[in-house]
Chain A
Amino acid sequence: MKREPITRRTMLKSASAVLALPTLEIMASAADNAAAAPPPARFAFFYVPFGVNTKTWFPVKTGDEHDFSPALEPLRPFKSDLTILGGLHHHRAGTGDHDVMDVHLTGTNYRHTGRNTQSFDQLLAERIGQRSYLKSLVLSTAGGIGGPGRTATMSFNRSGAAIGADKNPRTVFNKLFPPSEQAGRDALRDRLLQRTSILDALREETQSFMRPLGRSDRDKMTEYLTSIRDVERAIQIREQQLRQGTPAASAAELALHANSLGNMEQRQTYIRCMFDLIYLGFVADTTRVATYAISDEANGAFGNWSELCGTNTDWHGTAHRRGDPEQDGAKQTKIDRWLVEQFTYLVGRLKSTREGEKTLLDRCMLLYGSGNSRTHLHRNLPLVFAGGNAFNFRHGQFLTYVVRNRLEGEQGTESRGGAYRTLEEGSAPFANLFVTMARQTGIDLPAFADSTGPLAELAAG
């Protein structure tokens, strides 16, 4: 009994030491430390719904000698920066039709428990996001949260609740950067001062309010206090951004007016603008973790591809081969490739930006893909993992974990009958990729969801 207070104090001490670390980093200006500390790792996750045309997506040859398939062709210049992955899926995931996006980054079987769990990006945000202004950037074209089974966001917090995604480029820009013109900066400074003042008063009030409360009520107030402190911390970083002078990015260079509802050209402008925002967030180290659902399983965005593929091209219908299977397949290849072109734009931008000795892409890990291979089939996910060469990935391969012949044998069946179950044999959990990504960047992650270990073939050491 005597030792109890000592325990608590020791715990607090060690806890505060850990907590103080990021704060210290923030306080030291970026210029002072640029030479000393290596630039941080960044992560971004991208989602496209309804799978792909698997026949024109996966390369024929595996390993280093693979060729680029028609859909992935645009990525050819970056062969040594990326790995094409096949045969991965969440073994525990719910087997629903379109809830695959809900579990894409969580790997949980939420139909069994009724609740989702923390997504991988949010786990990263917790571990490394603390050190930048925004713990994470959560984007989707549809925006908001959608709902269970029809999510509009890829990100889920610790308690498994969906985190609302931003869809408006201007909102995202304003989140990332202080304004560049003086009037806007003054207004922002005023707002920050006001918030600091209010939060100050709230913290004091909460401390005196919670003192006489019962234990469980006090626990709730402790959470509340922690939340206040986190917001105060973010405000401090923002104020520091303001002191450092004009932001790294100016709104004028971006297509912030872009909206997702227009024609193909506007669609491209919009998607690339979202990519640009992530890019700028990474360059300025305003955020280190981002998710962007380019579209979602609820058909929340870009349902119509008639301009690209000919009249009456509905994405979901095409993926289902509702029309002529051959024609729909060709249409889907077109869509796949168009989207990969957009993704290539981001890869290229990161690659052409230097950061220290290396390129920015070498420290950014991008995971692009879908929760289905073909629609309603959540096996053999089409995934492209790009970037991160600074963290010793063995890139340049087509790595597949699928029992190939069986997959080919089942082409054309749309039921989720027993036949697919055999595919699980020999294929690795998708979550193993998360574990690999985390461990290669020095994040201690024993396991995630149903992971069984890292993907040894992807790690160069």
Chain B
Amino acid sequence: MSDNSRFALRGCVVAVVLVAAAGIERARAAEMLDPRVRTLLEKHCKSCHDPDRNKGGLTVTTLRGDFSKEGYTWARIHNVVESGIMPPHGRDPLSDDDRKHLLAWIVAQSKAFPLRTTARRLNREEFTNTLNDLLGLREDFAAKLPEDVSVNGFDTNAGVLTMTSEAFEQYLEAIVTAVGWRFDASTPGFEPVVVTVEPPPKTKTPSKAPRPRVKLSTQSVATNPVFPKENTVGLRPRNSGSLGSGPNYLEFDFSPEFCETLPEAIDRFKLTLRVRSVAPPSGSLPRLIVEVNRKKVLDQPLEPRADFQDVVCYFRKSELTRQDGFTIHVMNGYETADFLEEFPKAREALGREKGKMKEEYTKGLLALLDQLPVIFVEKIVLESARYSEDPVPAHGLALTRLAELPGDARRSALETFLSHAYRRPLTAEEQKQFAGLFEKEFARTKSAQKAVESCLMFALGSPKFLYVGAKEPTASPNDHHLAERLSYFLWSTTPDRALDGLARTGKLRTGRTLEEQVHRMLDHPGAERFFDRFARQWLETEKLEERHESTDPSYRTPQQAYLRSSLRREGGAFLKELVRSNRSALSIIDSDFLLVNDRTSTHYGLPMVRGGEFRVVSLPKGSPYGGVMALASVMTTTDHGMFRPIYRGAWVQKNLFNRPLPPPPSDVPELDPNDPRYKNKSLKQQLALHQEHPKCAVCHKSMDPLGYAFQEFDALGRFGNRGKGPVRGKIESDGAFPNGERYAGVAEFRTIMLEKYRDDVIRGFISKLIAYGRGREPSLGEREWIDRLVDQAKRNEYRMRPMLLSIVSSPEFLH
């Protein structure tokens, strides 16, 4: 008998048994599935959603009504039936009574079978933060880990945060690397290497030992502001190079020959730059950018000061593409994009003035260039990084000294580490096992240091560390569960000592402790991660910096790099202001303020503010801006060419009303701007055409009309900036809400939203916060909980802090 036929035979046996089992399952299903619901599914859904056709990945014939397993599927059915998408147009419609019965039954069953958030792996951001916090490092491990799958935008979804072999391999690699890095600075350092910026020597003096060198990008001394008057070089903004500004970067070359003289084992280097900046009051601040072998290691705004200051950054040799030598570029990253329009014109005008002497031309050019900030560099210092400058780990232990401790002290320190990694006290069994592991590793390696490293790797590789929310089904949630969930919600990392300490003494939920902790956590710098990560995932602005394909061709140019990174940070800044100032969440719909930095302030047509940090500015009366909908970042992310009302309407439905629409059916062609039927029709008429198809209309009638409100915002969210972008002809910014109520423009759109839909928006917002913070969206069975939260929010004038507190103090937050 051949191998193949043997397997085939076994296959048959399995199949027979499966058929038998299927019969039993069907029998059981009959008990749980409401008979009327079963009849309805058979009558209205089966013809498309049977195992053969399995349309949309849904088969109704195998549904058993077991909500502990099928909860997600039933929620999908509820969603499409409630919104009228199913049964599709042209098919036998559900009667009102049947529809109500089906929906009510699904809701009732959801309540009877409450779901529980499953254990989930830390996503790569959380893992990186936690690893850094436990080891006292500040490294970007996330960049090397597989990206996480998101559900409705959020990468904290417990359902999909699973482990695969290739991911585990990379997580393990990161853990081993991290532990290695924690101890690697034990190798002796070297004398700091100082490279002073000096005028190039007139004659070359042959030197015996290889030395690091300084190079200017161009030697155009004429337009160079100070050099060689002082022994420094003034760096004009890097984008102004083409305008004749002279040197716009400095290159420090640590050649391979020189680097061979450094101890090879040293991986982490510290770079100190002695710099000063001059910035005319009319513009913003310059940014100091440092790249090592083209990897950016520093990008920070530099306040103008009379005297020089030290700026410090770090890099790792092992993280560079080229490791035999270092080429360090220092640049002035000032954003000239705003000036470029006027600047070349002024320069051209200067050139046109015939008969001018060369000196005069240079003088004029200098006067122009002097409107831009300059960074002066005196010297840089390269040295090996030291432990003493590392952040203090969350548990407060001095890890590098661990191996030297006497037996008992070391054991207790290791237990402290393990206990912090597990985010709870250890059991006696765990203590015993951990001590056993140390002994075993010590016996194997004869080295306390190596045994300590193994113990740390074990702790960080354990599922008790890598997964949050694993719980025995019967156990009720305790303070540690709450501290963990709270901390990953608001900080994206492990609880700190204060929070952990409260959980250990069981006091987190007594008196006003939880409230105090929530306030403390929101005021803590760690909360920036919540503001940033949540806002980006909620508003879908995550990809703006690197990946957004804008219809505005200038968007992806190097000159707009700063605009891109600013837009990506904008949503987080807005949310931070709402929370830190405890503002009303209704600011989402409309606000009389905006958060801007130097780059976005002019983008919005507001007076320029100085510096890269976002700050609150009041909007003038009648401003088209306000709320999150018209944020430049949101407008940019929802721009997909001339059919943008569709995308912007869908965005409102998905992110403000929390009604994500299913993806278009795969047999529907993409809209074609060159369709001959579109000729001589306005955009609205064109979009009306595709709504003629019932399959399209079912969703598009509820999204397209919402998107017209933003027609006056261009591809990058600038108001009334016509002539650019694909909008042709008359702009129609009037539309309708799904219930048919009409609005005339963006202002009225906001007014109606605020009057009639405020609770829908708040409900959506709360649901999003829960989806992100708990790792699971509120289920159908939790509708009453959400109603309760909305009521509470209303009583508290929708203020952010009480709203967040009411979410995390509900028992459902831990379900």
Q: Are B549 and A149 in contact (CB under 8 A)?
A: yes
Specify which of B7, B18, B463 lies most central, judged by the most chain A CB atoms within 10 Å of its CB: B463
Residues of A162-203 at the interface with B, using a CB-CB cut-off of 8 Å, are 162-164, 167-168, 190-191, 193-195, 197-199, 201-202
Closest chain-B Cβ to A77's Cβ sits at a distance in Å of 34
A284 within 8 A of B: no
- Partner-contacting stretch, out of B39-47, B105-113, B662-670, B805-813: B662-670
Q: Which residues of chain B from 16 to 30 have any CB-CB distance to chain A below 8 Å in the complex? A: 17-18, 20-21, 24
B148 CB-CB contact with A under 8 Å: yes
- Say yes or no: is A157 at the interface (Cβ < 8 Å to chain B): yes
Check if A80 is an interface residue, CB within 8 A of chain B. Answer: no
Q: B435-463 toward A: CB 8 Å interface, digit per residue (1/0)? A: 00100110011000010011001100111
A109 lies within 8 A of chain B by Cβ: yes
A168 close to B162 (CB less than 8 A): no
Task: State in angstroms the CA–CA spacing of A164 and B675 once bound together.
Answer: 40
Interface residue from B121, B168, B463 paired with A231 (Cβ < 8 Å): B168
The answer to the question of B513 belonging to the interface, with a C-beta cut-off of 8 Å to chain A, is no
Pairwise interchain contact A164-B463, C-beta atoms closer than 8 A: no
A92 contacts partner chain B, Cβ-Cβ < 8 Å: yes
| B95: interface (CB < 8 Å) | no
Cα distance A214–B166 in the bound complex, in angstroms: 26
Tell me, yes or no, whether B622 is within 8 Å of chain A by CB.
Answer: no
B164:A220 contact, CB within 8 angstroms: no
Q: Are A227 and B147 in contact (CB under 8 A)?
A: no
Looking across the interface, which residue of chain B has its beta carbon closest to that of A417?
A: B674
Structural contact, A227 and B10, CB atoms closer than 8 A: no
Instruction: Please determine whether A220 and B146 come into contact, CB atoms closer than 8 angstroms.
Output: no
The residues of A that contact B17 with a CB separation of less than 8 Å are: 3, 6-7, 10
Question: Are B116 and A227 in contact, with the CB atoms below 8 A?
Answer: no
Known: A162-B147, A224-B463. A157 touches B166 (CB 8 A): yes
Inter-subunit contact B169/A231 (CB<8 Å): yes
Closest to B547 in A: A147
A159 touches B470 (CB 8 A): no
B165 touches A231 (CB 8 A): yes
Q: With A10-B13, A201-B458 as known contacts, state yes or no: A213 contacts B471, CB within 8 Å.
A: yes
Interface string of B633-657 (1 = CB under 8 A from A): 0000000000000000000000000
Interface pair A223/B166, CB less than 8 Å apart:
no
B161-179 Cβ-contact flags toward A at 8 Å (1 or 0): 0111111111010001000
- Which of B147, B163, B166, B473 interacts with A213 by CB under 8 Å? B473
Q: B322 to A217, Cβ gap below 8 A?
A: no
B294 engages A193 (CB within 8 Å): no
Provide the B374-417 mask, 1 if CB < 8 A to any CB of A, else 0.
00000000000000000000000000000000000000000000
Known: A214-B116, A214-B473. A112 touches B664 (CB 8 A): yes
Q: Cβ of A227 and Cβ of B168 under 8 Å apart? A: yes
B112-125 vs A, CB cutoff 8 Å, 1 = contact: the mask equals 00001011110000
Task: Report yes or no: A168 in contact with B321, Cβ–Cβ below 8 A.
Answer: yes
Q: How far is the CA of A257 from the CA of B322 in the complex (A)?
A: 8
Asked if B278 lies at the interface with its beta carbon under 8 angstroms from chain A, I say no
Assembly CA distance A194 to B160 (angstroms): 31
Closest CB in chain B relative to A21 CB, distance in Å = 10
Tell me, rounded to whole Å, the shortest Cβ–Cβ distance linking A367 to chain B. 22
User: In the assembled complex, how far is the CB of residue B172 from the closest CB belonging to chain A, in whole angstroms?
Assistant: 6
Say whether A160 contacts B165, CB under 8 Å. Answer: no
State which residues 125-142 of A face B: CB under 8 Å.
135
Are A227 and B164 in contact, CB atoms less than 8 angstroms apart? Answer: yes
Interfacial chain A residues near B547, Cβ < 8 Å: 146-150
Nearest Cβ distance between residue B93 and chain A, in whole angstroms? 26
Question: In the complex the two chains form, what is the Cα distance from A109 to B667 in whole Å?
Answer: 11
Residues of A within 8 A of B170 (CB): 164
Specify which chain A residues have a CB less than 8 angstroms from the CB of B169 in the assembled complex. 227, 230-231, 234
Verify if A144 is at the interface (C-beta below 8 Å from B): yes
Residues of B within 8 A of A214 (CB): 116, 118, 471-473
- Does B14 touch A at the CB level, under 8 Å? yes
* A10 and B467 contact, Cβ closer than 8 Å, known pairs A149-B549, A198-B461, A220-B162: no
Query: A112-B663, A135-B166, A150-B547 are contacts. A213–B14 as well, Cβ < 8 Å?
Result: no
Cβ contact within 8 Å between B454 and A95: no
Chain B: minimal CB distance from A401 (Å): 21
What are the interface flags for B672-715 relative to A under an 8 Å C-beta threshold, 1 for contact and 0 otherwise?
11110000000000000000000000000000000000000000
With a CB–CB cut-off of 8 A, which chain B residues contact A220? 118-121, 162-163, 467, 470
| A205–B666 touching, CB < 8 Å | no
Report Cα–Cα, A240/B664, bound state, in Å.
52
Complex CA gap A146/B546 in Å reads 8
Give Cα A219–Cα B463 distance, bound, in whole angstroms: 13
Q: How large is the interface on B (under 10, 10 to 19, 20 to 34, 35 or more residues)?
A: 35 or more
**A167 to B437 Cα, complex, angstroms:** 37
Q: Do residues B471 and A217 form an inter-chain contact, with CB atoms below 8 A?
A: yes
B428 at the interface (CB under 8 A from A): no
Question: Cβ of A97: which chain B residues have Cβ within 8 Å of it?
Answer: 549
* Chain A residues closer than 8 Å to B145, beta-carbon distance: 164
B166 touching A115, Cβ below 8 Å: no
Report if A37 contacts B (CB, 8 A): no
Contact among B21, B462, B467, B672 for A4, CB-based, below 8 A:
B21
Distance between B26 CB and nearest chain A CB, rounded to angstroms: 13
Which chain B residues border A227 with CB–CB below 8 Å? Answer: 163-165, 167-169
Q: Does B1 contact A (CB under 8 A)?
A: no
Q: Which residue of A lies closest to B159 (CB)?
A: A216
Q: How far is the CB of A230 from chain B (nearest CB, A)?
A: 4
**Nearest CB of A to B24, in Å:** 6
A207 to chain B, nearest CB (A): 10
In the complex, A274 Cα to B700 Cα: how many Å? 49
Q: A113 to chain B: which residues have CB within 8 Å? A: 663
Indicate if the CB atoms of A163 and B467 lie closer than 8 Å: no
The closest CB in chain B to the CB of A4 belongs to B21
A212 touches B549 (CB 8 A): no
Asked whether A161 is an interface residue with its Cβ less than 8 Å from the other chain, the reply is yes
Least CB separation from A97: chain B residue = B549
Contact of A198 among B121, B164, B457, B464 (CB under 8 A): B457
Docked CA distance A159–B21 (Å): 29
Mark out the residues of chain A between 441 and 457 whose CB falls within 8 Å of any chain B CB in the assembled complex. Answer: none
Q: Render A1-23 as a binary contact track against B, CB cut-off 8 A, 1 for contact.
A: 10110110011001000000000
Q: Distance in Å from the Cβ of A168 to the closest Cβ of chain B?
A: 6
Question: Quick check: is A418 within 8 A (CB to CB) of the other chain?
Answer: yes
Contacts of A1 in B (CB 8 A): 24
> Which residues of chain A are within 8 angstroms of B14 by Cβ–Cβ distance?
7, 10-11, 14
B166 and A163 contact, CB distance less than 8 A: yes
Is the pair A150, B546 in contact by a Cβ cutoff of 8 Å? yes
Distance (whole angstroms) from the CB of A98 to the closest CB of chain B: 7
**Please, which residues of chain B bring their CB within 8 A of the CB of A263?**
none
Alpha-carbon distance between A201 and B543 when the two chains are bound, in angstroms: 40
Q: Tell me the complex Cα distance, A417–B10, Å.
A: 53
Q: Please name all residues of chain B whose beta carbon is closer than 8 Å to the beta carbon of A230 when the two chains form the complex.
A: 165, 168-169
Decide if B433 is an interface residue (CB 8 Å cutoff): yes
Say whether A224 contacts B472, CB under 8 Å.
Answer: no
B164, A7: Cβ atoms under 8 Å? no
In the assembled complex, the Cα of A101 lies from the Cα of B445 at a distance in Å of: 47
By a CB distance below 8 angstroms, the chain A residues around B675 are 418
Give chain A's interface residues, CB within 8 Å of chain B: 1, 3-4, 6-7, 10-11, 14, 92, 95-98, 109, 112-115, 135, 144-150, 157-164, 167-168, 190-191, 193-195, 197-199, 201-202, 205-206, 209-210, 212-214, 216-217, 219-221, 223-224, 226-228, 230-231, 234, 257, 259-261, 415, 417-418
Nearest 6 interchain pairs by C-beta: A227-B168, A417-B674, A230-B165, A214-B473, A147-B547, A216-B118
* Complex A-B: 19 CB contacts under 8 Å: A10-B14, A157-B146, A161-B146, A191-B176, A194-B445, A194-B457, A198-B457, A198-B458, A202-B462, A205-B464, A216-B116, A219-B118, A220-B121, A220-B467, A223-B163, A224-B466, A227-B168, A231-B172, A417-B672
Given A202-B461, A213-B119; 12 other pairs, CB 8 A cutoff: A3-B21, A158-B164, A161-B147, A164-B145, A194-B441, A201-B458, A212-B472, A214-B116, A219-B118, A231-B172, A257-B322, A261-B322
